[in-house]
């Protein structure tokens, strides 16, 4: 009987906004990372909206959201975080969003 190969231990979590994964699946992601999985987050939007503070510019908010996401990734043990940079609140389910190079993020 042929030996069964262990399946690849890689995962990609695709979410619209920074912190969506933390609200939805970070416990699972933390476990996978602790077990040695290679996990990549893909964030579709740039995080430029979503504050009630009128003194914060969109540019500053993007930088803040990216840094917060990198910090969360470090805590969880993620392999990589990819920021697609689509404008927040403007994301559409297009073919461009589903481009094939998303699956070559290693």
- For residue range 30-66, list pLDDT tens digits in order: 999 999 999 999 999 999 998 899 999 999 999 999 9
Q: Are 61 and 18 in contact (CB under 8 A)?
A: no
Instruction: Give the pLDDT of residue 1.
Output: 58
- Residue with the larger pLDDT of the pair 99 and 30: 30
Domain residue ranges in the chain: 10-99
Whether 106 shows a pLDDT value over 50: the answer reads no
Local confidence band at 104 (pLDDT 50, 70, 90 cut-offs): low
**Other C-beta atoms within 10 Å of 40: how many?**
18
Say whether domain 10-99 belongs to CATH 3.40.50.150: no
For the chain, give the percent of residues with pLDDT over 70: 92
This prediction has a pTM of 0.85
Distance CA 56, CA 64 (A): 10
Whether 10 shows a pLDDT value over 60: the answer reads yes
């Amino acid at each position: 009987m042929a030996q069964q190969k262990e399946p690849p231990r890689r995962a990609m979590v695709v979410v619209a906004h920074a912190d969506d994964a933390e609200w939805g699946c970070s416990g699972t992601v933390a476990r996978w990372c602790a077990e040695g999985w290679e996990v990549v987050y893909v964030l579709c939007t740039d995080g430029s909206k979503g504050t009630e503070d009128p003194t914060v510019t969109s540019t500053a908010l993007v930088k803040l959201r990216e840094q917060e996401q990198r910090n969360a990734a470090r805590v969880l043990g993620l392999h990589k975080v990819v920021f697609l940079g689509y404008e927040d609140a403007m994301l559409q389910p297009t073919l461009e969003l589903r481009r094939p190079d998303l699956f070559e993020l290693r």
